Copies of this chain bind each other. A is one copy, B any other.
Amino acid sequence: MDAIDDLVKLLSRLPGVGSKSAARMTYRLIGTDPNYNRRLGEAISTLQERIHRCTICGSFTETDPCPICQDEKRDRSIMCVVEQPQDVLTIQNSGIYSGLFHVLGGAISPLNSIGPDQLSFSALRKRIQEGDFKEIIIATNPNEEGDITALYIKRMFKDSGLKITRLAAGLPIGGDLEYADRRTLEISLRSRMDM
C-alpha cells in the first residue's frame, strides 16, 4: 500500500497533522469526488508558482503590486506594520481596516540572531518618507520579540511627527477571565479603561 503510506507520510509533515489524522485524510481522499482530488493536488503543486511577494508591501499576492497596494480606494494615510504575510490576511478578513500594510518579514529576535537588517525596515522608511501618511499602526505580535520590534519602529519614526500606535493587548473578547494567563491579566489590568 505504497501510495497510501506515501501520502500519509507527506500529509504528516503539515502543521498540526499527526499520523492518525493524516491516515484519516488519506482514506477520505480515496473515497471522495475525483474532481476534488485533482483540484486540491493542482492547487498545492502550483501554489508557489502562483504566489509571490508584493514588491511594495511584502505580502503574498498573485499580481504585483498586490490588490491592496493597487487599490486607490484605500486610506493611504494609515500604515499598518505586521510581521508576516498571513497577518495581512487576518486583519483584512476582520473587515475593520482600510489603510495600507507593510510586512516586515518577521520580528527582531536577539535570541534567534534576527536583527533589524534582516527585516524590511529600510523599505518601510522609504514608503513612509515618500507617502503622505498620518499614522503608523504597529501590529506586531504581543510577545517579547513583537515588543522589541514595536519599540524599534517607534524610535525610527519618533521625529517624523506621525502618530504611532500599537494594537491593544488585553483579554480576548468572548473569553473567560478564568482562562486568562497571568501575563495577559497583568497587561489588561495595567491598561484598564474608564467606563
Residues of A bordering B, CB below 8 Å: 1-4, 6-7, 10-11, 13-17, 20-21, 23-30, 34, 36-48, 50-51, 60-62, 66-67, 84-86, 89, 178-179
Classify the secondary structure of A's interface with B: helix
A50, B3: Cβ atoms closer than 8 Å: yes
Q: Which of A11, A24, A44 has the most CB of B within 10 A?
A: A44
Shortest distance from the beta carbon of A185 to any chain B beta carbon, whole Å: 13
A4, B37: Cβ atoms closer than 8 Å: no
A14, B38: Cβ atoms closer than 8 Å: no
A36, B10: Cβ atoms closer than 8 Å: yes
**Further 14 A-B residue pairs, CB within 8 A, beyond A4-B60, A29-B47:** A1-B51, A1-B61, A3-B43, A3-B46, A7-B40, A10-B36, A10-B40, A10-B43, A14-B29, A15-B21, A15-B28, A16-B24, A34-B48, A41-B45
